[in-house]
Amino acid sequence: MRPTTTPTATPAADISPGLTRLLAVSAGLIVANLYYAQTLVGPISLATGLSLHAAGLVVTLTQVGYALGLLFIVPLGDLLENRRLVFCALLGTAAALLAAAFSSNAWLFLAAALGIGLGSVAAQVLVPFAAHLSREETRGQAVGKVVSGLLLGIMLARPAASLVADVAGWHAVFGGAAAIILVLAFVLRSRLPQRAPTQALSYRKLIASLWTLLAGTPLLRRRAAYHAGLFGAFSLFWTVTPLMLEGPRVHLSQTGIAIFALVGMAGAIASPVAGRLADAGHTLPATAAALVLGVAGFALPLYQPASRELAIGVLAVASIVLDMAVAANLVLGQRAIFSLGADVRSRLNGIYFALFFGGGALGSALGAWVFAQYGWNAALLVGMAFPAAALLYWLGELPGRGSVLGKTV
């Protein structure tokens, strides 16, 4: 008689390093589209006949498009086959970038800017994609690596746009981006595995469920509040710092400011570290550390040495510290909300990003106004208040951690 053996479960396959790198690079290239115009507002306005008072629409409409996409396109990742959704979104993004490159009037460019924002939410379909393809015990690390690529895209976009525009003009920035995104669309279509969600909801019910998820998910609201504080500080910093650097005290050129912006890239190293901490169950203390770093990023520049070179060095260190805080907390937040269930990941991610982008918009607008009215130190104090308020909110987690989170994540 043959002995009977008990079959052992085969562990689920984990995401491969090559696919993780592809998702990270792709997320960075896609999200960079949101930031190219920020350093090119002047030449774009001049070329398209946009008035000085309306020049802010060049950036604002891209952000509006992105916010709309987060709420009305990203949730489709819970309903439609993900690879096809990403491919179609990137084709639309490439078309919008091409329209921007050939724009000769303000209305065409502004419509293209709105389209660029809408299509670029494909990056926020890729991040949950990485979570779906990862095992539970390594999910934080995979998400952290993809978010590192996304943040590098944000940090590189502005200096890259400035340098390319100096050599070939602003049209070349958008034309080159269109070519990159078009190639990327076909690469992802050939390399990504298919993922077809099992949801049977209609689109109307899918969108209606966003409010239900927000109202019924305390963890989502808490993580969004934490990152709204940090992203508001981040947006404020990168709005007012270039103004200070080009001012009479430091007087950096546009190329110098571009080089300064590259220094902040070092902060992206915090993403995979935060992912490992989250996988090990240390989300709560790691969140506190990120928020404290956010406060420190604004406390450091309050020290203003007489030496111009030393002042720039202190500000560079502050930018790295702040970028580390944002990178780490973004991963911690996504790792936490992705633990709530595969069927709602895209919707949770869309809500999460839409909420903290609101904090970013507030920080940017408030920072520019405070800097103009009251100066550099006042802007630093306002920036410090954003993560400080989030840290005070974090203290509420300590007495009843289980009741707030529902589980250790």
Q: Given this model, what pLDDT does residue 399 score?
A: 64
210-398 homologous superfamily = MFS general substrate transporter like domains (1.20.1250.20)
| Contact of 262 with 283, CB cutoff 8 Å | no
Supply the angle between the helices 283-299 and 376-394 in degrees, to the nearest 10.
170
Averaged confidence pLDDT in the chain = 85
Q: Is the pLDDT of residue 252 over 80?
A: no
d(CA 141, CA 274): 8
Lowest mean pLDDT among 49-58, 171-180, 188-197, 243-252: 49-58
| Contact of 120 with 159, CB cutoff 8 Å | no
d(CA 250, CA 237): 16
Q: What pLDDT, in 10s, does the model give residues 136-152?
A: 788 878 888 888 888 88
| CATH code for residues 15-197 | 1.20.1250.20
Q: Give the domain ranges of the chain.
A: 15-197, 210-398
| Contact of 363 with 253, CB cutoff 8 Å | no
Residue located via tokens 């724009």: 103
Q: What pLDDT, in 10s, does the model give residues 292-317?
A: 999 999 999 998 887 888 888 899 99
Cα angle, residue 145 at apex, residues 77 and 240 outer, rounded to 5° = 90
Q: Given this model, what pLDDT does residue 54 score?
A: 66
Q: Measure Cα distances from 270 to 256, 265, 276 in Å.
A: 25, 10, 10
The pTM for the full model equals: 0.79
Mean pLDDT over 63-77 rounds to 89
Specify the 3-state DSSP secondary structure of 62: helix
Q: What pLDDT, in 10s, does the model give residues 355-408?
A: 988 888 788 778 878 888 898 999 999 999 999 999 999 998 876 554 444 344
Mean pLDDT over 46-73 rounds to 80
Mean pLDDT over 21-29 rounds to 95
Q: Given this model, what pLDDT does residue 19 score?
A: 92
Report CA 276 to chain centroid distance, whole Å.
20
Q: Given this model, what pLDDT does residue 408 score?
A: 40
The model's confidence at residue 194, banded by pLDDT at 50, 70 and 90, is: confident
Q: Measure Cα distances from 160 to 22, 90, 391 in Å.
A: 21, 21, 34
Q: Is the pLDDT of residue 204 over 60?
A: yes
